[in-house]
């Protein structure tokens, strides 16, 4: 059951116009920002990627430019309206598929993917569900695979410039306010991930956090 403190399940009007709303909210800068972030992910040709909460598929189309035809992308999604747009957008790419799957419930994948990507989804889960998501990702990644989390950076909301704080609290759910104060690296370490890398965007309010699943060759 989804938490009552989340807004991350996108439906109705918001789902139908999701890409347009993101473009308007960011004054047309969203596509450029996401292209830059995906270019920074280090995706290799032939990579197999699982995208958690893949939404309208916009990110998947961009990631495909990096994986090439040799790669594969599997989007996990529960929003019918969001998934319908993703299927339509990616209809010419046989190496992309979308699966109805709650990301906090058990998945069928085991050591299948080079990367797992989750973009603006994780902040909407209670910590006990984040733990389930981390376990699912760990199991689904190949040894040495990367878990890449694009979401709000850590910051002190109480000390944030008032208009930004007001907008954040109006637009986002209570879980997002907790998320920005969470030590995500510590949580990920407790689930077996390491070798963290951080890149920030949008005045440091947005972070791409990369964590690696050990490949077994690490020294103690
Ligand atoms: C804020 S949107 C982000 C979409 C996309 N990742 C992006 O960056 O454009 C959140 C997405 O996560 C999906 N979602 C929410 N809860 C989910 C769950 N438990 N399992 C799978 N998808 C979920 C929503 O339907 C929605 O498409």
The pLDDT confidence band at residue 216, using thresholds 50, 70 and 90, is confident
Average pLDDT in the 145-153 region? 97
* Cβ of 78 below 6 Å from ligand 1: yes
The pLDDT confidence band at residue 7, using thresholds 50, 70 and 90, is confident
Q: What is the 2 CA–ligand 1 centroid distance (Å)?
A: 12
The pLDDT confidence band at residue 140, using thresholds 50, 70 and 90, is very high
Q: Which architecture, in CATH terms, is 12-212?
A: 3-Layer(aba) Sandwich (3.40)
Tell me the Cα Rg of the chain: 17
Ligand 1, atom 16, lies closest to the CA of 9
* Cβ of 77 below 6 Å from ligand 1: yes
CB–CB of 78/8 below 8 Å? no
Average pLDDT in the 155-181 region? 89
CB–CB of 202/36 below 8 Å? no
The atom number, within ligand 1, closest to the CA of 79 reads 25
* Cβ of 102 below 6 Å from ligand 1: yes
* Cβ of 15 below 6 Å from ligand 1: no
Q: What is the 19 CA–ligand 1 centroid distance (Å)?
A: 13
pLDDT at 220 over 70: no
Model pLDDT, residue 168: 86
pLDDT at 26 over 80: yes
Average pLDDT in the 64-85 region? 96
Per the prediction, the chain carries an average pLDDT of 94
CB–CB of 154/182 below 8 Å? yes
Model pLDDT, residue 4: 83
| Interval 88-120: pLDDT, tens | 999 999 999 999 999 999 999 999 999 999 999
The pLDDT confidence band at residue 35, using thresholds 50, 70 and 90, is very high
CB–CB of 47/66 below 8 Å? yes
According to DSSP, the β-strands at 194-201 and 206-212 are: antiparallel
Instruction: Answer with the residue of higher pLDDT: 164 or 28.
Output: 28
């Amino acid at each position: 059951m989804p938490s009552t403190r989340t807004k991350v399940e996108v439906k109705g009007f918001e789902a139908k116009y999701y890409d347009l709303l993101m473009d308007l909210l960011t004054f047309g800068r969203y596509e450029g920002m996401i292209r830059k972030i995906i270019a920074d992910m280090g995706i290799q040709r032939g990579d197999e990627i699982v995208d958690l909460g893949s939404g309208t598929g916009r990110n998947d189309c961009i990631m495909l430019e990096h994986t090439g035809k040799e790669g594969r992308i599997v989007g996990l999604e529960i929003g019918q309206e969001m998934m319908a747009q993703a299927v339509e957008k990616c209809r010419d790419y046989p190496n992309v598929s979308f699966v109805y799957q709650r990301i906090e419930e058990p998945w069928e994948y085991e050591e299948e993917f080079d990367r797992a990507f989750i973009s603006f989804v994780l902040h909407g889960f209670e910590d006990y569900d984040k733990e389930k998501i981390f376990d699912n990702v760990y199991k689904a990644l190949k040894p040495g695979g990367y878990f890449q989390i694009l979401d709000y950076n850590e910051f002190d909301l109480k000390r944030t410039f008032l208009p930004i704080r007001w907008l954040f609290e109006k637009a986002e759910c209570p879980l997002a306010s907790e998320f920005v104060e969470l030590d995500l690296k510590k949580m990920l370490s407790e689930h077996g991930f390491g070798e963290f890398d951080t890149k920030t965007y949008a005045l440091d309010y947005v972070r791409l956090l990369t964590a690696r699943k050990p490949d077994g060759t690490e020294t103690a």
